[in-house]
Amino acid sequence: MEAGRRRRGRSTKDSADLKVEILRAATAEFSTKGFDGARMDAIARRAGVNINLVYHYFGNKDALFVAVMEAAYLTIRTYHNDINLRALDPEAAMSELVRSTFRLFSDNLHIIGLLSSENMHEACHIRQSEQIRNLYNPLLDFIGETLARGVAEGTFRSGVDPVELFITISAQSYFHLSNRHTLGFILHRDLTSAESLAARQRHVVEVILSFLKHQARNSSDA
């Protein structure tokens, strides 16, 4: 069995990977149970290691959570870096940003659980990380520049706050997934099916693009 193999005869190379494995286990535990619901020994069990190893590598529960959050934000950064949007025209760039944001969350549900828990704790863990603090600056710059390019070429409405737009884009994808259980119950619909997700993604793109392009034609509204 896996567990047996793990407990005995670990090679030196395995040892080097243990930290990664613990981090993965902690991510799974924290994201599904929340910080308070997560158990250190459950994390150790998930990772197939002795609980003391967890303390050896990460110090304590809070520090472990910080490490998990930093890794999660690295994933986010990766998703943003993977797309080279600046080469695209403003409309294509923006719709691709919306789509990649949707994929970011739907491919990494654990990020939603982690962010949800971290907000319950008033972001006390990530506040300790300078690395995270400035993670979004490039993205906000990109949004601002793309908006400007769109306005310049007459495609986008003017006067849109990049921060507000970023929140709107994230909100559309995040909320659908973060609240999938309560929404599924009161709306009598499974929000996690492949069709539901595809429809949501299409809808989100439509909403954002409609908004951006709307004002460009009729500036008397709103």
Partner DNA sequence: GATGAATGAGGTTTCATTCAT
Partner DNA sequence: TATGAATGAAACCTCATTCAT
39 binds, among a second copy, DNA, none (CB under 5 to 8 A by kind): DNA
Report the site for DNA in 131-170 (rule: CB under 7 A): none
SS3 189: coil
14 binds, among a second copy, DNA, none (CB under 5 to 8 A by kind): DNA
Neighbours of 146 (CB within 10 A): 24
Does 176 bind DNA (CB under 7 A)? Our answer is no
Report the site for DNA in 60-119 (rule: CB under 7 A): 60-62
Alpha helix ranges (H) inside the chain: 2-7, 12-37, 40-47, 51-58, 61-82, 90-107, 109-120, 130-133, 137-152, 162-178, 180-187, 194-214
197 binds, among DNA, a second copy, none (CB under 5 to 8 A by kind): none
Does 51 bind DNA (CB under 7 A)? Our answer is yes
Would you state the structure tokens that stand for residue 39, as one six-digit string?
């158990």
For residue 149, give every residue at least 6 positions away whose Cβ sits within 8 Å of its Cβ, in sequence order, or none: 89, 90
Q: How far is the CB of 92 from a second copy (least distance, A)?
A: 13
What b/e string do you get for 45-80 counting C-beta neighbours within 10 Å, with b at 16 or more? ebbbbeeebbeeebeebeebbbbbbbebbeebbebb
The site for a second copy (CB under 8 A) is made up of 32-37, 113, 115-123, 126-127, 132-133, 135-136, 140, 161, 163-164, 166-168, 170-172, 174-176, 178-189, 199-200, 202-211, 213-215, 217-218, 221-222
53 or 197: CB nearest DNA: 53
Does 5 bind DNA (CB under 7 A)? Our answer is no
Q: How far is the CB of 76 from a second copy (least distance, A)?
A: 10
